[in-house]
Amino acid sequence: MPRRDKRPDRPLHLTAICTVRVLEKLVWASDRPSACSECGQTLQALEDLGGFCALCGQIFCRHHLVIRKGVPNCAACEELRRRKENEGAVSQADVERVVRLIGNDLFQTIGAGHESIAEEAAVRIQLFCDDLESFEQRVVDDVQQSVHDDFVDTSWPACEEHPNHPLWYSDGWWRCELLGRRVAPLGRLRRGAG
């Protein structure tokens, strides 16, 4: 089955920055040096780079970027972020519910220590999502893609009957696409699955 890239809402530059920090090498080059959008500091070394604001996409030094729950934003976008978090189509209770459910599936299948993947995805996607149904799907897809991309488990969650391929999530259920059947609702995967 072809690999699915399920993170259309994650800007390429955010993925590149994450890759830079993991591999600790430069993955792109420019004819002119990058500079912080707030103070103008030239960002010559990796230690200088704070990252990109998830909302406006501008680059900032580490002194001018706020990272809350794993999601970066600049001071100019803080009010917009708080408004989206507090008044958007997806409530904080919805975020917490989806994080709890996908967190339980992660814990039951690959163990503790992966909760931050779910929290960061939910908080980031909440900023760009207009309805609860697509929010849940996008968070699950993003978490699954991260678990695969980061080589935590490249077939997560594995199908019990076909352990070399993952289950896929749709319409509230983890499904085996080979058999065309539902396996478990979100948050209800068992140990041994995945």
The pLDDT value given to residue 156? 96
**Cβ proximity of 137 and 130 under 8 Å:** no
Residue 21: per-residue pLDDT: 37
Q: Is 188 exposed, middle or buried (0-12, 13-18, 19+ CB in 10 A)?
A: middle
Give me the pLDDT at residue 153, please: 94
* pLDDT at residue 106 in the model: 97
Dist. CA 72–CA 55, nearest whole Å: 8
- Residue 28: is its pLDDT beyond 70? no
CB 82 within 8 A of CB 95: no
Q: Which domains does the chain have, with CATH numbers?
A: 12-78 (3.30.40), 88-153+162-185 (no CATH)
Which among 74, 126, 122 has a CA at the least distance from the CA of 100?
122
Residue 50 scores a pLDDT above 70: yes
Phi and psi at 184, nearest 5°, equal -160, 145
Mean pLDDT of the chain: 85
7 confidence band (pLDDT: 50, 70, 90): very low
- What are the tens digits of pLDDT across the range 64-105? 999 999 999 999 999 999 999 999 999 999 999 999 999 999
Interacting residues of 50 by C-beta distance below 8 A, sequence separation 6+? 36, 59, 60, 61, 62, 63, 64, 65, 72
Query: Token match 């931050």: residue?
Result: 116
